Amino acid sequence: MKVAILIPTKNRPDFIERTLAYYDSLKSVHTVFIGDASGPEASARIAAAIKRLSNVEVRYFHWEDLGANQTLVKLAQEALRECQYCAFHGDDDFFVPSSLSKCAEFLSRNPSYRIAQGRAALMILDRSGPYGEIRGLGDYWGRNAVEEETSTERCISFEKKTFASQFSTHRTEEFLQDSQDYLEIKEPQVGELLHNFTFVIRGKSKFIDCLYLIRNIHEEISHPRFWDWILQEDWSSEYHKVLNSLSLALHESSDLSLSNAKKFVTKLLNEFMEKEGQDKSGVVLALSLSARLRSYLPLSLRSAIKDVVINDSRDMRLLRSRKSLFYYEFLPVRNSVSMNKLI
């Protein structure tokens, strides 16, 4: 099934070129929708790269200086014209096309499920920019089904183990329904919070055991620290928009009164914020550090340690090894980032 791949970008044509080359090399059946907020120079470079493609359909929109949240919704509106399903990732990330098809196929048969997704990996290169050798691999979000029957049960379950369900596969029409209030949010992290809880309030999340998403962690990614985030000028008003939107969604999806729904969501968000206040950079730091420490060991010892420690063929750290269940799905990603040339 065709899934619209939604990619907002701004002033990073080198990453977009890498992404397009990847999907083109796989002859992906999924149409790529690019919403570009760049200036004229970067826009011209991306447009030229698209002309060189031959194996993937691309819809390109130049919306200079449009916000990331607004760009994402406009892309979904464009996608609705031709694709029943959609999925979003950053301009530096990768979907496995066959896994998108599996998720869309599942959604087509299971209307009580709002989203579907598979396994996801984190990847760090040995240098800045889109190309280099892979320095480290790790797990991004693990198994992440949310299959409780009621909205409140799903919220409680999701809060205990949140994941970036924005990257899941969605029905395009439902994604737009879930984005009505998202459009009013300027800060991407606040918008992500609103999106993620809205999805699970309105339906279930299915985990499908496949390699689905690879996220490239690099120095050009900039997320504010938690306290910097909540001290921003618009934080309070944005937070109350999230609170009101989620409360209404929960009221409409459950037997709770609007007042009780707001009390429930307030408690939920308080617990979420307490956890967010802790330093979440540990996963990326550990990934980088373990790769750095291994680099000082002799090659024979590095291989021996890998064989002893990692014995699960589904472990994301094994993706470069033929022992991995997902070796062949990851190989095109490895080839894509290892190329020292553009498309």
Q: Can you tell me which residue has the tokens 């397009």? A: 20
User: Residue 146 — left, alpha, or beta (φ > 0 → left; ψ -120 to 50 → alpha)?
Assistant: beta
Phi (first) and psi of residue 249, to 5 degrees: -60, -40
pLDDT number for residue 52? 95
What whole-number distance in Å separates Cα of residue 119 and Cα of residue 308?
23
Evaluate whether 213 touches 100 at the Cβ level (below 8 Å): no
Contact 326, 319 (CB under 8 A): yes
Contacts of 222 (CB under 8 A, 6+ apart): none
Coil, strand or helix at 59:
strand
Instruction: Walk along the chain (343 residues) in steps of 10 and give the mean pLDDT of each run.
Output: 96 96 97 97 96 97 95 98 97 97 98 97 93 93 95 96 95 97 87 95 98 86 54 73 96 96 95 71 48 51 53 93 97 88 42
User: What residue ranges do the domains of the chain occupy?
Assistant: 226-276
276 Cβ contact list (under 8 Å, min separation 6): 226
The model's pTM is 0.88
